[in-house]
Amino acid sequence: MIPDTPHTPDTFDVSGVPAVLRVQDLVVAYGQHRAVDGVGFRIAPGESYAVVGESGCGKTTLARTVLGLLRPAAGEVALEGVRLDQARGRDLRALRQRVQIVFQNPFAALNPRMTVARLVDEPLRLAQPDLTAAARAEAVSALLTSVGLADRFLGRRPHELSGGQCQRVAIARALAMDPVLLVLDEPTSALDVSVQAQVLNLLADLRQHRGLAYLLISHDLGVVRRLADRIGVMRAGRLVEEGPTQQVLHEPAADYTRALIAAVPGRGRAALMGGPEAGDEAGSGAAGGPAPGDGARADPSAKPAPAPASGAAAVPASELSAPSSIGSSQ
Ligand SMILES: Nc1ncnc2c1ncn2[C@@H]1O[C@H](COP(=O)(O)OP(=O)(O)OP(=O)(O)O)[C@@H](O)[C@H]1O
Ligand SMILES: [Mg+2]
């Protein structure tokens, strides 16, 4: 389904495998305001890359551009070597299937009128239109199993589920599209503390078993420590530091990164600084590092919510096919 656009040589790593995501010199602006200003990074197949930074630094703008929902003012976004920023129409829709997003608020992301069975069946129909109804029912059941939900949930609607269960359904919907990259925008921050660790464990398992790559966006350095191989630290639209997770957390190069870590309250920070195994001591499968919601949030200067849309180069609605519109079916 990937459009037949030639790969350019620089999309390949030394291994000859194209990066799942390559972002280069990216600029995304709302009017005059450059919310993303010259960002570049790569995510290898199966890699989990976290973008951290304070509120308003441009994380969600970056995510929406990677999803093909916003057009960059300059720079490149390539998925498996194919330029997303240049794609249009059917090519763009096909590329967008390869990237799926899991939103912060699972209730808002699911149509309250649909049963779990329909919610998972819907993207499956788009991804595999040739499947028979019986094969789809089997696939829906398998997807739910893979996110830890039994068949008895099939007939339930979102209001009959807990937040964690809703997030599992949202993850199953994303997986139904068979993506190579999952964008996780604060995937656990709206959940009860008690279920955050379970959802993090699920995300860690899914990556391992499916070879998925993640672009993780989070304020919570505990979540990042648990899920990310590498971290990019973003400030005011720019990446100020990038490196392996342990290195960035233990030997931050930028003053700004040090400030983010220093802003994490004591207990959370102590857990954050534990060795690579330190978080796994909780035998119940609790997340590594500080328990999410345990105060490891890196947001020294939270700002008010962003202003309403004002002229960012949004992709026309006609370009936005249902496959990735997990959040828009309410
Ligand atoms: N639709 C929009 N129209 C105009 N400005 C916007 C819009 N969305 C975001 N911005 C501005 O762009 C900048 C980056 O916003 P963005 O939502 O990407 O930040 P963020 O890092 O995701 O923040 P948070 O951690 O609070 O979610 C902010 O200054 C914000 O006010
Ligand atoms: Mg955001």
pTM for the model stands at 0.83
Residue 10 has pLDDT above 70, yes or no: no
Joined tokens for residue 164:
């964690």
Question: 126-168 pLDDT, tens per residue?
Answer: 999 999 999 999 999 999 999 999 999 999 999 999 999 999 9
Residue 224 C-alpha from the chain's centroid: 12
Q: Phi-psi region for residue 14, left (φ > 0), alpha (ψ -120 to 50) or beta?
A: alpha
Closest-approaching ligand to the CA atom of 313: 1
Mutate which of 26, 30, 54 for ligand 1 pocket (most atoms within 8 A of beta carbon) = 30
Residue 186 alpha carbon, nearest atom of ligand 1: 27
- Structural domains in the chain? 46-61+89-299 (3.40.50.300)
Residue 281 C-alpha from the chain's centroid: 26
Pocket of ligand 1 (CB under 6 A): 30, 33, 35, 55-61, 306-307, 309-310, 312
Question: 215-247 pLDDT, tens per residue?
Answer: 999 988 999 999 999 999 999 999 999 999 999
CA of 213 to the centre of ligand 1 (A): 24
Residue 305 has pLDDT above 70, yes or no: no
CA of 241 to the centre of ligand 2 (A): 19
Question: 75-134 pLDDT, tens per residue?
Answer: 999 999 999 999 999 999 899 999 999 998 888 889 999 999 999 999 999 999 999 999
In 53-108, where do the E strands start and end? 74-79, 82-83, 99-102
Mean pLDDT, the chain, as a whole number?
83
Which of 308 and 53 is assigned the larger pLDDT? 53
CA of 101 to the centre of ligand 1 (A): 17
Residue nearest to atom 3 of ligand 1 (CA): 309
Residue nearest to atom 1 of ligand 1 (CA): 309
Which of 25 and 304 is assigned the larger pLDDT? 25
Angle, helices 163-176 vs 116-127, to 10°: value is 20
Quick count: other Cβ atoms within 10 Å of Cβ 69? 18
In the chain, where do the E strands start and end? 21-30, 33-43, 48-52, 74-79, 82-83, 99-102, 181-185, 213-217, 230-235, 238-244
Residue 304 has pLDDT above 90, yes or no: no
Which strand ranges, in their side-by-side order, compose the sheet holding 74-79?
33-43, 21-30, 74-79, 82-83
CA of 4 to the centre of ligand 2 (A): 33
CA of 64 to the centre of ligand 2 (A): 10
Residue 25, strand partner residues: none
